[in-house]
């Protein structure tokens, strides 16, 4: 097992995981974004490597992925976000290996693909500098010029606490600037990252009514089911959430109580590919769409594509857009988006390998 950190920007480090078998087959996973909004440090990477090693040792004792999940999921659930992410990254890499051993794409092992291309939305949040209405508007225009028809931002990041009207005003102004920049035919979403109280969430939703949002994401933490339900009942916007939850047990309350319209399991945090499929099954019974969370590197995207291809209730996939011009070249064959969508590969496993030379040029 090897952890390969890659610095994508001043704010972002991607943590790629590679498992190597004694038959010469290697599988990829990704363990990024487990350390909150702060920049991932070398100390964080060492902590992740230690967590990964523990799950890797579990995997070495298991005859298959189902047995790995049986042993690993209680540990991932109990250990918080870092453990959950490590658990998920090893699971991803095991699927990549399994597909190569079987000589089929992973989506064939998960039930077979339902679509050849996946719609993708551009998360412009980290690429928007300066974080002003003008900065967000300019970034949104560039993403739309590349063919994306859906854009999302989180202009309330850094929220300083309740009662700060100026910060709310700034975030709302950013969203209206995005809407004006992209015009009426592009969908616009906002991610609130759980910063609000219930009254604040309702107020912001009302003030954003003319922005015609495609969804209103996590005004409060998704674990706060009663508050999420209260907000959903008080606003007209579509609600989305669940980006950091783990396992079916983490998502079941949101789905069973229909607290949101869209759930956002992340293949890096929710337990991996098979568990994301199981989560989607629970959501489908409740009539809820799945839009996988994926503000990450290209390995996470490659894994998410395999899952998105098989889900009957799939909506669209997230892309952290614009952070690194060389992002696509980190994979072989290169990651490509056309018309705001990505093709589902038919090569074995995830259908990609890491461009190690380029990865090593961007150390943490």
Which one from 77, 107, 167, 193 is the annotated catalytic residue? 193
Task: Give me the number of domains the chain comprises.
Answer: 2
Residue 363 lies in a domain: no
Residue 69 lies in a domain: yes
DSSP at 40: P
Q: What is the C-alpha R_g of the chain?
A: 19
Residue 302 and residue 218 share a domain: yes
DSSP at 3: E
Residue 115 and residue 249 share a domain: yes
Look at the alpha carbons of 122, 249, 308, 103 in this order and tell me if their dihedral is positive or negative: positive
CATH number at residue 116: 3.20.20.120
What angle do the packed helices 198-207 and 165-182 form, to 10 degrees? Answer: 40
Which residue, 80, 103, 126, sits at the end of a domain? 103
Parent domain of 78: 2-103
Cα separation of 286 and 3, whole Å?
38
Residue 325 and residue 309 share a domain: yes
Which residue, 81, 103, 125, sits at the end of a domain? 103
pLDDT in tens, 204-246: 999 999 999 999 999 999 999 999 999 999 999 999 999 999 9
293 is catalytic: yes
193 is catalytic: yes
pLDDT in tens, 272-284: 999 999 999 999 9
Residue 112 and residue 89 share a domain: no
When pLDDT is averaged across residues 4-18 and rounded to a whole number, the result is 96
Residue 140 and residue 21 share a domain: no
Which one from 77, 269, 293, 362 is the annotated catalytic residue? 293
Cα separation of 308 and 133, whole Å?
33
Which residue, 79, 103, 127, sits at the end of a domain? 103
CA 8 to chain centre: 16
pTM of the model: 0.97
Q: Check: CB of residue 125 under 8 Å from CB of residue 191.
A: yes
């Amino acid at each position: 097992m090897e952890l390969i950190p890659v610095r994508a920007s001043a704010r972002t480090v991607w943590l790629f995981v590679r498992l190597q078998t004694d038959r010469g087959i290697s599988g990829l996973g990704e363990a990024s974004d487990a350390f909150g909004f702060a920049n991932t440090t070398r100390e964080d990477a060492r902590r992740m490597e230690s967590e990964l090693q523990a799950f890797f040792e579990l995997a070495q004792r298991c005859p298959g992925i189902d047995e790995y999940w049986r042993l690993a999921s209680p540990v991932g659930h109990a250990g918080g976000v870092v453990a959950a992410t490590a658990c998920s990254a090893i699971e991803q890499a095991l699927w990549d290996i399994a597909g190569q051993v079987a000589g089929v794409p992973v989506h064939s092992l998960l039930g077979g693909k339902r679509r050849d291309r996946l719609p993708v939305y551009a998360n412009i949040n980290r690429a928007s500098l300066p974080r002003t209405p003008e900065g967000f508007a300019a970034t949104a225009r560039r993403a739309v010029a590349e063919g994306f028809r859906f854009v999302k931002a989180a202009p309330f990041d850094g929220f300083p606490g309740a009662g700060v009207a100026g910060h709310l005003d700034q975030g709302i102004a950013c969203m209206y600037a995005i809407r004006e920049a992209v015009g009426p035919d592009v969908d616009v979403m906002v991610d609130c990252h759980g910063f609000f109280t219930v009254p604040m969430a309702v107020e912001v939703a009302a003030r954003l009514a003319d922005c015609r949002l495609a969804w209103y994401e996590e005004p409060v933490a998704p674990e706060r089911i009663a508050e999420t339900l209260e907000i959903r009942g008080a606003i007209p916007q579509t609600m989305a959430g669940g980006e950091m939850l783990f396992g079916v047990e983490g998502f079941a309350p949101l789905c069973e109580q229909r607290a949101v319209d869209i759930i956002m399991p992340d293949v890096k945090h929710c337990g991996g590919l098979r568990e994301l499929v199981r989560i989607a099954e629970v959501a489908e019974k409740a009539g809820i769409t799945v839009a996988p969370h994926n503000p990450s590197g290209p390995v996470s995207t490659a894994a998410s594509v395999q899952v998105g291809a098989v889900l009957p209730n799939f909506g669209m996939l997230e892309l952290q857009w614009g952070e690194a011009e060389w992002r696509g070249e980190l994979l072989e064959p290169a990651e490509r988006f056309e018309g705001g969508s990505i093709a589902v590969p038919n090569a074995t496993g995830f259908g990609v390998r890491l461009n190690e030379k380029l990865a090593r040029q961007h150390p943490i």
